[in-house]
Structure 1
Amino acid sequence: MQRYIQLFSRLIFGLLLTSISFNSFAAEKIVIIVSGAEKQIYLPVKLAERLGYLKETGLNIEILSEPSGVNAVTEMLSGAAHGVVGFYDHTIDLQARGKQVQSVVQFSRSPGEAILVSTSAAASIKSPADFKGKHLGVTGLGSSTNFLTQFLASKHGVKSSDYVTLPVGSGSTFIAAMTQKKIDAGMTTEPTISRLTSSGGATILVDLRTPKVTEEALGGPYPAACLYMSTAWVNSHKAEVQKIANAFVKTLAYINTHSAEELTQVMPPEYSSANKQQYIDALAASKDMFTADGVMPDNGPETVLKVLQGFNKSVQGKKINLANTYTTEFVKAAK
């Protein structure tokens, strides 16, 4: 009888330990928000998930999607997320506002975006100098598409007060805003760009999809998509950050060694359901935007800072320490 009591006690104790371990594991969930998971500029995230590289880390990682980068930033700062896959320029903007965050894996070296002009407004908009009095679409107010639109306008002598900026999201909502003439022009990403241009609904005004055309338009390399996190969290969770970096560096290497068609086959079918060949062609044309190793491109941070200083009142006049806006520690140590 005593033996049965001992066995029963051990069983109960084991169940308690399992419960404690499970709860601890659940508490260690790492939430990463993507600023629009369906966008080709953020392809490395879904690809890493589909290839099983995130699962290989052994971490409990949850990927969430948020249409606008500025909303994703808010989620991270509120503590609802540990990291954001968005544009590097937010790290500079946030430092100017007293928040320390840093890019830990740099996905791309150009925005992968373009400013489109609707067919109905094409006659009156020949360059950003013609934005005065127009309605311009961006993913969200305070988003990177908003940053770049403001810079291109100011570069051509147009103040932000001279035009109306509308947050219209991306994908179908952006297309609807343009076809319904709510916006005259706007900045968006692939595959939305190809969907609109192929249908004759819009033409490209400013192309920032590859490093070459980006340097011509912005004066240098413009590191864009990346995984950025709170500096304090990175410093206190280096083992976890390293595992995440390993997964994404492995994914970037996969992108670098596989064709657009092969990459599309791995991605969720619904991402290319509108027109699979169009999706493949768009990816093939802009795949060069992705880094091969997650390392920040030379002179990239300087270009981004210069762009933000051109219009962003939060950054203008502030002393920005670019070395604190990114780290190559984890990507260079990645296996």
Structure 2
Amino acid sequence: MSHSRRKPVAAAVAVVLALTMTACTQEAERTSSGLIKITYASFAGPSGLPAKFGKEKGFFEEQGLDVTFVEAQDPVGLVSSGDVQIADSDTTSAVIAAGKSAPIKIVSSMYRTKGPFYLIGGKNVRDLADLKGKRIGIGRKGSGMEVYTRYILRENGISESDVTLIPTGAYQPAYAALESGQVDATIIHEPFVSLAESTGVGHLLAKGWDYLPTFHTGVEITSTRFAEQNPDVVKKFLTAYFRSAIYAKEHQDEFRDFAISQIKVPAEVQASALRREEPIWENRPEVDASALRDTQEIQRELGFQDTVYDTSEIVDDTYLPSAGDLAAAGSAR
């Protein structure tokens, strides 16, 4: 790993440890009506929508929770400082931070763990071979989106020196970079693949999970302190989180309409996006230890990580909802 990649991680962990020294006891607060207050740092964009949909449908209130959503820009820091109680996190950031002694626990997978990333080409890129000499958007530097991009290129005989990799951001900014010609291709999420296809801005070159089927991309994290003091709250949250995702997948027309209200794409585009992602929308809370090891090995192979950490002390599966918990969670209100 280059020094430029090491320094941000080291700095983040140092901040986390400093914050931990002054952290107060994290006991659950309640509303006047008795609901337990939770601040939850959710991913922006499509990845965070099922939980937001679930709040609207009443699944969190059903578990006795009053959840406030904030954006997960620095999930490890937010959870460690106590500013939020639970957060979405990319798996590699959580593992590396915890491996460096950040006081966090991975308590479940997200509703999908295979990378929902797609490499799409613009009008002057017909196929993967055309990427040589081109400018390619990678999302955020050092992110899982860059990992997928570099791996796909390598597997197709294209070296980093053959292309120009450009951080463009994710979601709408990535789409805008392709549409404006800032890049010739980009790694991106749905529904922007389907939008590019429908408008003629771009077309699909590769699905990320076809290349890295065991690369783990999303987990739920909380602080060690909060989990120890509020185990029932963590389990209630995860029950509501997964019941929300299950309901969204089982009621796709209803979820599609909600997603459209948040992202503002045509109904047929969102419907196409949901169909394409059905295979990776698994709704499995368990965290696969072998997938975490595969993920770290790939990170190390590509220079994003020096050490492969033992995750047995990082992952705590005692809060996972059972199949019975999820089935008993009730229908939407």
Using the size of structure 1 for normalisation, the TM-score is 0.74
Mapping of 1:45-60 within 5 angstroms?
45-60=51-66
1:87 corresponds to which residue? Answer: 90
Once the two structures are superposed, residues 251-293 of structure 1 have per-residue CA deviations (whole angstroms, 9 ceiling, x without a partner) of 233245x14223224x254236421122022112212312234
Partners of 1:49 and 1:94 in 2: how far apart? 29
The yes-or-no answer on 1:31 pairing with 2:39 is: yes
1:229 corresponds to which residue? Answer: 222
Partners of 2:103 and 2:159 in 1: how far apart? 29
The letter for the 1-side match of 2:83 is A
Q: Deviating runs (4+, > 6 A) in structure 1?
A: none
SS of residue paired to 2:206: strand
Partners of 1:101 and 1:221 in 2: how far apart? 23
CA contact (8 A) 2:175 2:188 kept: no
2:256 corresponds to which residue? Answer: 264
Shift, 1:206, TM fit: 1.9
Which consecutive residues of structure 1, in runs of 5 or more, have no partner in the other structure?
1-22, 209-213
Shift, 1:124, TM fit: 8.0
The partner residue of 2:234 within 230, 236, 241 is 241
SS of residue paired to 1:242: helix
1:5 corresponds to which residue? Answer: none
1:217 corresponds to which residue? Answer: 211
With over 3 angstroms needed to count, the CA separation of the structure-2 counterparts of 1:245 and 1:148, relative to structure 1, is same
With over 3 angstroms needed to count, the CA separation of the structure-2 counterparts of 1:78 and 1:164, relative to structure 1, is farther
The yes-or-no answer on 1:276 pairing with 2:267 is: yes
Shift, 1:195, TM fit: 0.7
CA contact (8 A) 1:191 1:279 kept: yes
The letter for the 2-side match of 1:271 is Q
CA contact (8 A) 1:109 1:289 kept: yes
Mapping of 1:1-335 within 5 angstroms?
25=30, 29-36=37-44, 38-39=45-46, 41-66=47-72, 71-77=74-80, 79-99=82-102, 101-106=104-109, 107-120=111-124, 122-123=125-126, 125-126=128-129, 130=131, 134-154=134-154, 163-208=163-208, 214=209, 216-218=210-212, 220-256=213-249, 258-265=250-257, 267=258, 269-271=260-262, 273-297=264-288, 299-313=290-304, 315-316=305-306, 318-333=307-322, 335=325
Partners of 2:121 and 2:224 in 1: how far apart? 39
Q: Give the superposed CA RMSD.
A: 3.1
Partners of 1:286 and 1:194 in 2: how far apart? 11
With over 3 angstroms needed to count, the CA separation of the structure-2 counterparts of 1:72 and 1:330, relative to structure 1, is closer
Using the size of structure 2 for normalisation, the TM-score is 0.74
Larger Rg: 1
Partners of 2:251 and 2:288 in 1: how far apart? 23
Shift, 1:142, TM fit: 3.1
Partners of 2:230 and 2:162 in 1: how far apart? 45
The letter for the 1-side match of 2:89 is G
Partners of 2:96 and 2:149 in 1: how far apart? 15
SS of residue paired to 2:320: helix
1:14 corresponds to which residue? Answer: none
Shift, 1:45, TM fit: 1.4
Which consecutive residues of structure 2, in runs of 5 or more, have no partner in the other structure?
1-27, 326-333
